[in-house]
């Protein structure tokens, strides 16, 4: 799965919407978020899971082709009694991207890929086992990028984090490193639970950006413009991106160099992504 060819690989804002609230689907798409995540897991009670799948199925014909490319569906976790039906829905709708919560193995991801051969997959790392298996998960079939489930990971590890989630710095670094080694798009950082604290949301987003994350999960529309602004490329970043693209073109498929440094596929992806975010590519 080549992230350069998939708009989900460029997205920096992902807005969660409960699957059983179809009246919010279009509003979310119009919120300014690059992608929306229609959630079948945590946001939907067990007794409402079937109704949520039905709501997505009924709403699907009304989405444009462009909108469908921006919709991610978060299934329930593998091993739950809801997961199989979630995959069947994803197969029926030929969704562009599936977010798999509590991803813990290479086989889980490859199993979903066999059912959904044309669907990009975002494994969500939110358990100790998932973090341990992060390298093989990042290299599984059709994985376009990783996502951090920071709240669940804290709970699974028995952590009590400070406001800056200092205790999760190592885990965040592991996601960035695994993504780079697997040559997939930069990972998606976890949520900020404060929905109206602009300073906290901005600080959390900039922390992720400094670490090498390329996106952030949002739980409220008010967070979207704050996150988007924080990820907006600077003039210096745009100059670098244009230089990378020109060097890559000049190499004509060969090894490209810029200022004495080799330019490989992930670097070109980052440059293109920055230009897309700035509306210049």
Please say whether the beta carbons of 217 and 189 come within 8 A.
yes
Q: Which tens digits make up the pLDDT trace of 143-161?
A: 999 999 999 999 999 999 9
Digit-coded pLDDT (tens) for 102-137: 999 999 999 999 999 999 999 999 999 999 999 999
Q: Is-contact 241 267, C-beta < 8 A?
A: no
Q: What pLDDT is stored for residue 5 in this prediction?
A: 60
178, 137, 121: which is closest to 170 by C-alpha? Answer: 178
For the chain, percent of residues with pLDDT exceeding 70: 97
Task: Assess contact for 184 and 224: CB atoms under 8 A.
Answer: no
Name the token pair of 268.
Answer: 């070109």
Q: Are 100 and 122 in contact (CB under 8 A)?
A: yes
Domains assigned to the chain? 3-232 (3.20.20.60), 236-277 (no CATH)
The model's pLDDT over 225-254, given as tens digits with 9 standing for 90+, comes to 999 999 988 899 899 899 998 888 888 767
Please state, in angstroms and rounded to a whole number, the distance separating the CA atoms of residues 188 and 144.
11
Beta strands 261-263 and 256-258: pairing type? antiparallel
Nearest to 116 by CA among 104, 103, 98, 99: 98
Q: Averaged over 177-194, what is the pLDDT?
A: 95
Place of tokens 């995959």: 87
């Amino acid at each position: 799965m080549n992230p350069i060819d998939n708009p989900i690989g460029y997205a920096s804002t992902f807005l969660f919407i409960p699957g059983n609230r179809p009246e919010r689907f279009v509003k979310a798409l119009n919120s300014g978020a690059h992608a929306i995540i229609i959630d079948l897991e945590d946001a939907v009670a067990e007794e409402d899971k079937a109704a949520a799948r039905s709501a997505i199925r009924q709403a699907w014909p009304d989405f444009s082709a462009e909108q469908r490319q921006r919709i991610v569906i978060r299934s329930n976790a593998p091993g739950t009694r809801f997961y199989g039906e979630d995959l069947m829905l994803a197969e029926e709708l030929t969704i562009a991207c599936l977010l798999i919560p509590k991803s813990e193995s290479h086989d889980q991801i490859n199993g979903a890929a066999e059912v959904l051969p044309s669907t990009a997959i975002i494994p969500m790392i939110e358990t100790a086992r998932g973090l341990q298996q992060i390298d093989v998960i990042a290299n599984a079939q059709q994985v376009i990028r990783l996502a951090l489930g920071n709240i669940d990971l804290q709970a699974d590890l028995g952590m009590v984090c400070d406001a800056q989630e200092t205790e999760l710095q190592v885990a965040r670094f592991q996601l960035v490193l695994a993504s780079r080694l697997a040559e997939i798009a930069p990972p998606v950082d976890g949520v900020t639970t404060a929905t109206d604290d602009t300073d906290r949301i901005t600080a959390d987003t900039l922390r992720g950006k400094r670490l090498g994350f390329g996106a952030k999960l949002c739980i409220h529309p008010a967070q979207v413009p704050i996150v988007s602004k924080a990820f907006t490329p600077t003039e210096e970043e745009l100059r670098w991106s244009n230089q990378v693209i020109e060097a890559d073109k000049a190499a004509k498929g060969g090894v490209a160099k810029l200022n004495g440094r080799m330019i490989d596929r992930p670097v070109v992806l980052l440059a293109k992504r920055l230009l897309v975010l700035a509306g210049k590519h």
